Amino acid sequence: MHKLSVHKTGLSLGFFLAFIYLVWVVLVATGLASQLLNWKLGLLFLNNPFSVGAFSLAASIELIIITFIGGYIWGAIFAGIWNWAHK
């Protein structure tokens, strides 16, 4: 089996998850997040008990950075386990 780079896998997952949250931040900033949430939960026959809070640039930056770090850690853990399991 092909050996995974721990660093590259971590970066890949980190950037991917950070991008997803960047899209969410843009939806919140433009006011579309609430409509999307209501639509998605409606498809699942659920009522929406949540409300989307006010946009905060500082909180948005923190969310994206923490998501990137978490994604990097999980990607590195995955690559480490993959490499160990396929020795």
In tens, the pLDDT along 14-68 reads 999 999 999 999 999 999 999 999 999 999 999 989 899 999 999 999 999 999 9
Q: Within a domain: residue 29?
A: yes
- Which structural domain range is residue 23 located in? 11-85
Domain count, the chain: 1
Q: Within a domain: residue 33?
A: yes
Q: Within a domain: residue 5?
A: no
Q: Within a domain: residue 3?
A: no
Q: Within a domain: residue 1?
A: no
Per-residue b or e along 6-36, where b marks 16 or more CB atoms closer than 10 Å to that residue's CB: beebbbbbbbebbeebbebbebbeeeebeee
Q: Within a domain: residue 32?
A: yes
Q: Which residue would you say has higher pLDDT here, 5 or 87?
A: 5
Predicted confidence at residue 1, as pLDDT, reads 76
